[in-house]
Copies of this chain bind each other. A is one copy, B any other.
Amino acid sequence: MSVTAPLGFRAAGVDAGIKRGDDRDLALVVNDGPSRAAAGVFTRNRVKAAPVLWSAQVVSGGQVRAVVLNSGGANACTGPLGFQDTHATAEKVAAVLGDSAAEVAVCSTGLIGERLPMDALITGVDVVAAQLSRDGGLAAADAIRTTDTVSKISFRRGAGGYMVGGMAKGAGMLAPALATMLCVLTTDAEIGSEDLDRVLRAATAVTFDRLDSDGCMSTNDTVLLLASGASGVRPDLADFEKVVTAVCADLARQLLVDAEGASKAIAIEVVGAESETDAVTVGRAVSRSNLLKCAIHGEDPNWGRVVSAVGTTDAAFDPDRLNVAINGIWICRGGAAGDDRSKVDLRPRDVTITIDLSAGPHSATVHTTDLTAAYVHENSAYSS
């Protein structure tokens, strides 16, 4: 299912020999129409990988026929030759499909700073194209994994019967992000590229954008949304946004649970903020505190580390009116010790930290993970 759950899409994933070993490393997703409307959001890192520069240009045309994705190399920081490699990959896909390279998006993930093995990749395009099918969604999702232990896929049906499907990879998040997040969303709804763009921005802003596993931002993060129109259903826009957001939220959740070396999934819920921006700022600052992430790993309800992190922001709040709950126990009230910290049960994998800024009616939730020796191990040993 995944990207092939909606009508009008075929996909495949193969081992093209880009990565060492026998894992799949090349995926292709093709939109057979009748529409090719598309939108995309990309990393905000100023150092953008060649496929990001290329795909942003493709998407700006509002039409995407196909997306080719490889693991085993990010093609980032590879200079003009790296950009030529991306271009050549798009040209090859276009040739195989009898279409224009200007409508072929490219995504890459893996080590930064190394050229891709282009012979393997170009040969692989023929192989993967030959395997394109309506059942290929799972193989495609498998082929884009790097340190992901499982494939991430999702789909939802919208009002009137259209479908939205998607696949994602990454142990990080969209932006800020690293370990590269790639996501391809598909739908058979009939909808134009401008509406797709608006909906995709709204959906990612409250899902992938609020995932902050380690505060790092990748050079390659990409989320694409392709519409085939094959269902013939013209969706209600509010319903469509809700469905796309649900698919993104589901994929984001899967990314978080599979984050490198994590043993806890931490939701940082900021309430009582003067603005949503303040709420996100505070949530992000708290999610980036290594000290707090270690404390949660150690199942220590160390609210002092929460309050310290809040204090580094410019959000509106009065230190004497801060309240903090961990898993529902308000252990900090009015900026000082509140309820008995021994009542906090931090054994479950899911942890919720609620921060009440007592400054207004707005709220937002940012998701992160704990910091573990396994994270250090994985990121010390694996060049990515």
Q: Which residues of A contact B (CB under 8 A)?
A: 44-48, 74, 76-79, 82, 111-114, 176, 178-179, 214-219, 288-291, 294-295, 297-298, 300, 302-305, 307-313, 317, 319-320, 322, 332, 334-337, 371-373, 375-381, 383-384
Contact = CB atoms under 8 A, between A and B. Distances in A.
Interface centre among A317, A372, A379 (most CB of B within 10 A): A379
Contact of A290 (B45, B214, B312, B383): B214
A290 B215 contact: yes
A319 B216 contact: no
B77 A312 contact: no
Contacts of A74: 304
Nearest to A46: B311
A335 B77 CA distance: 5
Contact of A77 (B291, B309, B332, B384): B332
Given A335-B47, A335-B77, A219 B308 contact: yes
Given A304-B77, A376-B371, A215 B335 contact: no
Nearest to A79: B336
Contacts of A308: 45, 47, 112, 178, 216-219
B45 A312 contact: yes
Given A219-B311, A311-B217, A376-B371, A337 B113 contact: yes
A319 B336 CA distance: 46
A294 B79 contact: no
A164 to B, nearest CB: 31
A317 B138 CA distance: 41
Number of copies: 2
A179 B291 CA distance: 9
Contacts of A384: 291, 302
Contacts of A214: 290-291
A337 B77 contact: yes
Contacts of A312: 44-46, 176, 217
B336 A215 contact: no
B376 A372 contact: yes
Interface centre among A74, A76, A308, A380 (most CB of B within 10 A): A308
Contacts of A332: 77, 113
Contacts of A304: 74, 76-77, 111-113, 219
Contacts of A77: 303-304, 307, 319, 332, 335-337
Given A48-B319, A379-B295, A290 B216 contact: yes
10 contacts: A47-B310, A77-B319, A79-B336, A112-B303, A112-B304, A112-B307, A217-B308, A290-B379, A300-B383, A375-B376
Closest 3 CB pairs of A and B: A112-B304, A298-B380, A47-B311
A74 B336 CA distance: 12
A48 B312 CA distance: 11
Contacts of A76: 304
Contacts of A380: 294-295, 297-298, 300
Contacts of A113: 303-304, 307, 332, 336-337
A178 B288 CA distance: 13
A310 to B, nearest CB: 7
A294 to B, nearest CB: 3
A113 B334 CA distance: 11
A85 B337 CA distance: 15
Nearest to A299: B380
A46 B291 CA distance: 18
